[in-house]
Structure 1
Amino acid sequence: MNRFDSNPPLPLYGNFGAGVKKAPAFPLSPYMVVASVCFWLFIAAFTFKGFEYFLLYKFIDDSDLEVTNCCEHLSSDPKENEQFVQNYPKGDAGPYLMRLGPERYSSSFVGTESPRELSSIPTLVTAVTTSHFWDVQGLIEQFNQRVKRLFPDAKMIVYDIGLYQSEAELLKKYGFVEVRSFQTSQYPSHVGDISSYAWRPIIIQTILEEFGSVIWISPQSRIAHATDLNQLKYRGDRHFFAWQSKEYIATIAYTNPKTFTYLNESRCCFLESGLVDMSMLVFYRTNLTWNAIMKPWLKCALNKECLIPPKARYSGCFYMRTPKTTGCHRYDQSVLSIILDRVFLFTFKLEKYVIPRIATEIEENEKHFPEQPWAWTELGFLVLMPSACLGGLYYIYQRQRGKKKAYRRR
């Protein structure tokens, strides 16, 4: 007798006789469905980014960096270099330059130059979006508690370039500084794209023309020692103060080649040039500042083809290729770095233009206002919490129900 004859036959799906199991309506569990969806989403995202990087790498061309004797138009005479940047293409910037600069009735500087010794420190100015609302609170607190004590006449202006109404109201209520709204409608449409930083040279020039001197400081920066600001009252023969990035960053690595083309500059002339640090800049209103720095900077900022050439991106590029082209672009920072190296050979004459660093970066948000707006994480928690609770209760209910069914089958 076969020992297997005593075993009952295996149930077959699809046969609906007595004692035979029915085939499940959907063979995959919900967990497998979720895992499968996540897997294919990851594959799709990975494929998209891979294709994006492939196209970026395909368009990178550094052959022009190997050209010899390409800097014939780069003169050792600052006057000739100043004339060169004055000939940068004006494009559509003409009407806006007339409004922003001192050239109201002629092509020459008609404003009053900043004195060599100021009665107080230059006006501090910054600009803030909702992403830096907590950062700027610490900067304002430092200005009110430290800077104002040493320099009672000091003034600070905060430009609203993308705050929610509630944040702007809190800034005016508790900041004790002047708050201005940046009107993008008065400028070319691309200026409204905050990520292009076209607004920064416009704001700097506006304050420079209004007060005669300006300290630009980013919202996430702090003044290391308030007493260091005292030296900015005495400009002497200087027209500006600037610093290079703490870690050297090659200009050509983070500048779109088409920006060089628009400015009629040769990239190979800037092989050793470094990007300027934008956390703090100091400018004084002089003939040279306008003609050699602000005017050419604004010319580019007000023309989209110059500041935001096609395929320009701030991040997501081949960082390992530095100091050669990485595919990234630093917009107004790139243009200012080109101008300063063209006119003043800034990278090579740092001892002439650079003083000990005044600004420092912070890593943590500082909340100083008595009232704070809702953060996105808090709003998300508030919205998702009820759904999570209901989902948890439904899961417990289904689990208990399954246990009861299993018990009844016994």
Structure 2
Amino acid sequence: MLTKNKILTLALFSMLVFFCIDDTLKVKQLLKDPRPLLFSVFQQETNWAEYYDDIFRKYNIPVMKKAFPKVPCDAKNTTLTENMDIVSKYQFTVPQKYLQRLSLDQNGIDRLSKAVLNPAKYPIFVTAASSNHYGESIAMINNYHKLLNVHPELKMIYFDIGLSAEQHKKMKLYCKCEMRSFDFDLYPKHTKEKMGYTWKPIIVQTVLKDHDFVFWMDASVRFNGRPLDELRRLARERGLQFIPGSGAVMQRTSKLTFDFFKEKPCVFNFPETTATTFVISRNRFTLEYFMKPWVSCARTS
């Protein structure tokens, strides 16, 4: 069975080609930017390597900056195009029916990658909680309700992944959101191990099937009450918006994970990002090189 480290690390593998703002929850200054917002209107033939290389230059982003500069490595750091090819060739033992269910088979990705006629202005908020995080989740919902005073058009989907019947009933009455119960029986048995977090990418992709813009939040996330316009713009342009972690990918990842992917740890001498909260804009790149490998890793036993 894949461990928690294994599941979260694949996201970090893909994240090597991405970048973060200093703090998603504390955007320092929200500007009235005259530049047009970039929505999910990318064509299937978009050259993603060129697209992201342009963004790296535009924002002067040090993509290949080492977390530990003095750590030697005899493996070559590849280009973005080469990394995309490597990620696409990772081998997983995932039945095709699971990918089809989440529209991550080739037909599904082709369909979800088409231009959206009416792209969402703001991402749909998504969270999940079991009974041991119920209190923490209530505090997050209180905070979210305050954010509705700034953006009353926001929507949230709350997934019950193990609340008691009484907790579910109370949350449904209190939360200004859509309540759903996650059906663990549809997925491999190891998905029921909540500390494995394999349910997280499945939930995110479940929502991405129907919504082109998703904001994931753990129960611990809190908002500072400021408008989300700058975060929205950055996430739409970049495809993914994460916050930094406190270590390096090679430092936080189990050796079993690197062995599984036949990778050398030193190649991943880059700052980690966290899966606590992130925003994803649906397009071919984020589906093919982020969600598909992450979900595939979660379903591999």
Show CA shifts across 1:102-136 (max 9, x none).
Answer: 53637x52224576995531001111011111111
Match of residue 273 from structure 1: 270
Separation (CA, whole Å) in 2 of partners of 1:81 and 1:149: 42
> Is 1:90 equivalent to 2:92 in the alignment?
yes
Answer whether contact 1:161 1:181 (CA < 8 A) is retained. yes
Separation (CA, whole Å) in 1 of partners of 2:284 and 2:251: 31
Unaligned runs of 5+ residues in structure 1 are 1-65, 305-410
Answer whether contact 1:135 1:220 (CA < 8 A) is retained. yes
- Structure number with larger C-alpha Rg: 1
Secondary structure in 2 aligned to 1:220?
A: coil
Answer whether contact 2:161 2:182 (CA < 8 A) is retained. yes
Match of residue 201 from structure 2: 201
Q: How does 1:300-379 map to 2 (within 5 A)?
A: 300-304=297-301
CA RMSD of aligned residues (A): 2.4
Match of residue 102 from structure 2: 100
Identical amino acids, percent of aligned pairs? 27
Match of residue 289 from structure 2: 292
Q: 1:68 to 1:226 in 2, by over 3 A?
A: closer
Q: Which has the higher contact order (CA 8 A, sep 6+)?
A: 2
Match of residue 191 from structure 1: 191
Letter in 2 for 1:75: T
Match of residue 232 from structure 1: 231
Q: How does 1:34-49 map to 2 (within 5 A)?
A: none
Letter in 2 for 1:267: P
Answer whether contact 2:147 2:223 (CA < 8 A) is retained. no
Greater share of residues in helix: 1
Q: 1:236 to 1:201 in 2, by over 3 A?
A: closer
Q: 1:200 to 1:236 in 2, by over 3 A?
A: closer
Q: How does 1:222-261 map to 2 (within 5 A)?
A: 222-227=222-227, 229-234=228-233, 235-245=235-245, 248-261=246-259
Match of residue 179 from structure 2: 179
After the TM superposition, which segments of 4 or more aligned residues of structure 1 sit over 6 Å from their partners?
none
Unaligned runs of 5+ residues in structure 2 are 1-70
TM-score, reference length from structure 1: 0.53
Separation (CA, whole Å) in 1 of partners of 2:163 and 2:82: 43
TM-score, reference length from structure 2: 0.70
Answer whether contact 2:201 2:295 (CA < 8 A) is retained. yes
Letter in 2 for 1:268: C
Separation (CA, whole Å) in 1 of partners of 2:265 and 2:193: 27
Separation (CA, whole Å) in 2 of partners of 1:130 and 1:114: 39
Answer whether contact 2:214 2:281 (CA < 8 A) is retained. yes
Aligned length, in residue pairs:
231
Match of residue 70 from structure 1: 75
